[in-house]
Amino acid sequence: MAKSAPTPQAGDDNATDDDVVSLLMRQHGDIRNLFDEVESATGDERRDAFRHLVRLLAVHETAEEEVVHPFARRNVPGGDAVVEERLAEEREAKEVLASLEDMDPDSPDFAERLLALRTAVQEHARAEERYEFTHIRRSGDAGRLAAMARGVKAAEAMAPTRPHPGVESGTANVLLGPVAALMDRTRDAVRSAMGG
């Protein structure tokens, strides 16, 4: 397998992108690339890539809970049912994620559960693109769209930058606490960016 290009850092093009759907689609792409990276790396590199994936998933899903799903509830026909389905998928993904976090990333079980997570996350992303993003694109409310883009960018800025592979591994080895806290901070940042 060819060595893939480095995954773009969340927030890299923070300053220029004001299209909320493009921002979210790019995050879906970043998440896909990080799954590739976790799958192909080993040892400390795999650990670091997985930690980065978890953080990006945390800020991405928090942004969608605050920005995308509320829009879909109000503007998509049958919006409540659409959103309930997405929330159920996100809960399922979080359960698989919780089952992964205490595992040795090089164990065979890890690869199997990672694949389960990847499948759940990608099916979820496809459903969002199909049932929610298409409606957001059609929205003519420029002010609302700009506020949504501000919210997603504020979330993206909360995904910590990643040092060189291996550097992080000795430090943060507990994921749940930091991730829960990250989601709380992200929620606050999104709300203040959208309200401002």
Query: Which residues here bind Fe ion, judged by CB under 5 A?
Result: 61, 64, 125, 128
**Least separation in angstroms between CB 64 and Fe ion:** 4
**Least separation in angstroms between CB 87 and Fe ion:** 9
Q: Which is nearer to Fe ion, 128 or 156 (CB)?
A: 128
**Least separation in angstroms between CB 93 and Fe ion:** 8
**Least separation in angstroms between CB 194 and Fe ion:** 17
**54 touches 179 (CB < 8 A):** yes
CA angle 46, 48, 52 (to 5 degrees): 115
Q: Which is nearer to Fe ion, 20 or 105 (CB)?
A: 20
The pair of structure tokens assigned to 162 is 């990643």
Question: Residue with the closest Cβ to Fe ion?
Answer: 64
**Least separation in angstroms between CB 106 and Fe ion:** 28
Q: Which is nearer to Fe ion, 109 or 123 (CB)?
A: 123
Q: Which is nearer to Fe ion, 37 or 64 (CB)?
A: 64
